[in-house]
Chains A and B, each alone.
Chain A
Amino acid sequence: MSKYGIWPECVWRSPEMNWRAARRITAGIDAGTTSTQAAVLCDGALFSYASLATGVDFNRSATLAMERALEGTDMTVADIHAMGRTGWGSANVPFPAQHIDEVQCHAKGGRFLFGPEVHTVVDLGGQTCKAIRLFDWDRVRDIMMNDKCATGMGRSIERLCELLEIPITEIGPRSLEVQTDPEPVSTTCFAFANTETMGLFGRPEFRAEPLSEAEVYASHLFAVAWRILGTIGKLQPLDVGDIQVYGALGFTGGLAKNPGITRRIERELKVTALESRYDPMLAGAIGAALLAG
């Protein structure tokens, strides 16, 4: 199987932190449908993590992610005082860990990633898109999730990259090369949306100018962004006016690394999302680790 649609795996360990000096070590595992993250925290600070593609077996993916996160350290699972698990495959995580729901993990992880300024966290995951509105430090005020069809979720972009043979890291930046976005692809079912996108390369007789590659990418990612806007917008009790986002906005999840989607959402919302020095895919695992502790 080609690797166009897979985010590069990554493993990181704090070069300066001495875990033995920590009073409390916690870990979180986010067993998602497309990727699995394990994060280890020492006294609330990130010590190490691993982010890998989820295989067919959640159990094995979770085990592997934890092994990789601990690789090169002399820490073992037994040294961890508390562990949290979350994500679609949470029930299959083999370690003794507390199950914590995804929304709480992303809310908590979002605060960790973006600080106190963030009031709206949008998790752009492999299977679901969750818009979370926060209050107080990490209390969840409101949540909204995407409806069933999967255009707008990571899985659909992965499949599209396979079809178009473009690395998942490149499709976003390439889509931003266009001057003006074409109308988004219309189809909501992700399988058919991918077909429609492929079709944009054909039948030039219906367009004054054939679409460029960048425009084809833009058309698809604009559609994804548009659907995510629908989820974010549902958090707003507006009567008149366009979508407004409550407080500062932060993106988590795999699609947060796709500027072809995030820039378009920012453009429509007329905001700039907060940046984090951490990988946004870690939010769930970090949140689980914090909540378990």
Chain B
Amino acid sequence: MDQFKQLVENRHAYAQSWKARTGGKVLGWYEPYFPEELAYAAGILPVRLLARHEPDDRSEKWMYAACYPARDILNQFLKGRYDYLDGMVTVEGCQWMYHAFESTLRSRPEFWNHYLFLPDYTDAPTSKTVLRSELQVFQEKLEAWTGRTVTDADLDWAIEVYNKNRLLLRQIYELRRAQEPVILGSEMMHLILADQVMDKAEMNEILERFLEELEQRTPHRDCIRLMLIGSETSDAALEEMAESLGANVVVDELDTGSSYFWNNVLPQKDRLMALALRYLGRPHNPIKDNNWRRRPQHIFELYEDFSADGVIIAKQIYCHLHGTDNYAVWKLLRERNIPYLFFERDTTLPEEETRLRLESFLTVVRQGATHVCGWHKTLA
């Protein structure tokens, strides 16, 4: 098992050992727009709450429908898997995750918590002022909680560590552009997931060593290049299945994937404003891509940049946000003659059913079906 997959699977043990080692607090976060730098500057370890593939045997009493990640995160809390957390925080975002956040709090009222508002209209001149104000409120609340003042120096340090982390992730990610990449999609996804549950300073050291290792690696053979988009995920089962069928996911547009680290904080004197601008300016997911509809174009640019041959759209059942965005995305892909495979995921990835779909799709892509429009590469 690769090191990053292990890190993801051992994330609870890691956080607990971090806590024992440093004496710091661990803060669980739900939504991808959470400005981790602020918590990190306060000496806290922010960890993304990731789902596991287990039956929702406890959350059923609390929650109806909802996407599987929301159900499962609540389930894990109810089972006590997150007992080591000191607090939890969410940002204005998907309603199912908010439901998980609220229900968890009602079942475990002892958790320190905060809800941070981030405008749905991200581009108004006033949006950044609102978010800056919210960051200020959050910072003060963190200070009161930890008993520690967050100084400019703390913020600068946290921003630097996080920027470096994003830069390293991007450096590794860029290697996937190669015709014969040295890293497979599954490994990259595990790496990004591990990054979201680890102390970034420690992770940066691992990533630096890993970059050196990659230089020595033999490239993987040329295979069908896929792009993965859709709802968030907490594993790389789909990437692994694609690899078993002779394909490689070379690029993604997932909240738990490339969108997590795609843009950096541009330092400025007003540190909170710098953070606000980073989060308002990141590649938007469907809930924040409200006004100018940048998401479909971003998907297309990634597809082109990484020379993908086809797109997999894997949406979580009951993810109404991706369910609504599909229309715009399908329309764009069809207009540009890009082959895509759409299907819904749930708690598990049914192996035979998914393999059947993927295998058929890969044959379509391999056949060069899209060569009808003249420009698309035909694969052998």
Contacts and interface: CB of A to CB of B under 8 A. Distances in A.
A–B proximity contact (CB within 8 A) = yes
Interface string A79-107: 00000000010000000000001111000
B372 A141 contact: yes
A130 B341 CA distance: 13
Contact of B369 (A88, A101, A139, A239): A139
A101 B363 contact: yes
B137 interface: no
Contacts of B342: 144, 234
Given A88-B352, A135-B372, A237-B334, A145 B357 contact: yes
Interface of B: 317, 330-331, 334-335, 339, 341-344, 346, 350, 352-353, 356-357, 359-361, 363-364, 367, 369, 372
Given A142-B364, A148-B344, 20 more contacts: A88-B352, A88-B356, A101-B356, A102-B356, A104-B363, A127-B353, A128-B356, A130-B360, A140-B360, A140-B363, A141-B369, A142-B339, A142-B369, A143-B341, A145-B343, A145-B356, A147-B344, A148-B317, A148-B346, A237-B331
Interface residues of A, number: 21
Q: Is the interface of A mostly helix, strand, loop or mixed?
A: mixed
A101 B352 CA distance: 12
Interface string A22-64: 0000000000000000000000000000000000000000000
B364 A103 contact: yes
Nearest to A91: B352
A140 B369 contact: yes
B36 to A, nearest CB: 35
Contacts of A88: 352, 356
A136 to B, nearest CB: 9
Contact of B360 (A103, A127, A239): A103
Interface in A117-147: 127-128, 130, 135, 139-145, 147
Given A148-B344, A148-B346, A237-B334, A143 B364 contact: yes
Nearest to A134: B369
Contacts of B341: 143
Nearest to B372: A135
Contacts of A234: 342
A251 B363 CA distance: 21
A147 B341 CA distance: 12
11 contacts: A101-B356, A101-B363, A102-B360, A128-B353, A140-B360, A141-B372, A147-B344, A148-B317, A148-B346, A234-B342, A237-B335
Q: Which of A88, A144, A145 has the most CB of B within 10 A?
A: A145
A143 B360 contact: yes
Contacts of B352: 88
A143 B372 contact: no
A135 B373 CA distance: 13
Q: Which of A103, A127, A234 has the most CB of B within 10 A?
A: A103
B320 to A, nearest CB: 15
Nearest to B370: A141
A130 B335 CA distance: 23
A139 B357 contact: no
